[in-house]
Amino acid sequence: MDWYLKVLKNYVGFEGRARRKEYWMFALFNLIVSIVLAVIDGIGGFMTESGIGMLGLLYTLAVLLPSIAVGVRRLHDIDKSGWWLLLIFIPLIGAIVLLVFAVMEGTRGSNRFGEDPKSDEGGIPAMA
């Protein structure tokens, strides 16, 4: 839950780096909330004529900007520009490439986007 709130608090932070744990914990919590809202939409009759649930739609709009921001910071962690996120518009191939980028280990030490989020203040990677 702390990782999720950390991303929401930094919802317009496109600078810096996000480690894998931060990105994937945010994605997991988003998935869980989306499933719960879809069930509530289905049971409660909140579905629109197009089959999209109103609660799910509102939630998606609420986390759109934080999701983009954490995606950009995740790309920064592997020393890629945030513009690589536009690959999502290439059907199938773009999603696969971004998935591979998301699971890659970040650059050890500092890179052009900032300090290693796994390191202590001294710049030496943390052991835990």
Q: Specify the pLDDT at position 73.
A: 94
- Give average pLDDT by consecutive 10-residue segment, the chain, 128 residues: 85 89 94 92 78 87 95 94 95 96 92 83 50
| Beta bridge partners of residue 125, listed in sequence order | 119
Q: Specify the pLDDT at position 13.
A: 85
- Is 106:8 a contact under the CB 8 Å cutoff? no
* Tokens 């609660």, located at residue: 55
What is the pTM for the complete model shown? 0.83
Q: Specify the pLDDT at position 126.
A: 52
The b-or-e profile of 62-73 (16+ CB within 10 A means b, else e) is ebeebbbbbbbb
Q: Specify the pLDDT at position 60.
A: 92
Q: Specify the pLDDT at position 128.
A: 46
Size of the chain in residues: 128
Q: Specify the pLDDT at position 45.
A: 76
Question: Other C-beta atoms within 10 Å of 21: how many?
Answer: 11
Distance CA 68, CA 35 (A): 20
Distance CA 49, CA 35 (A): 19
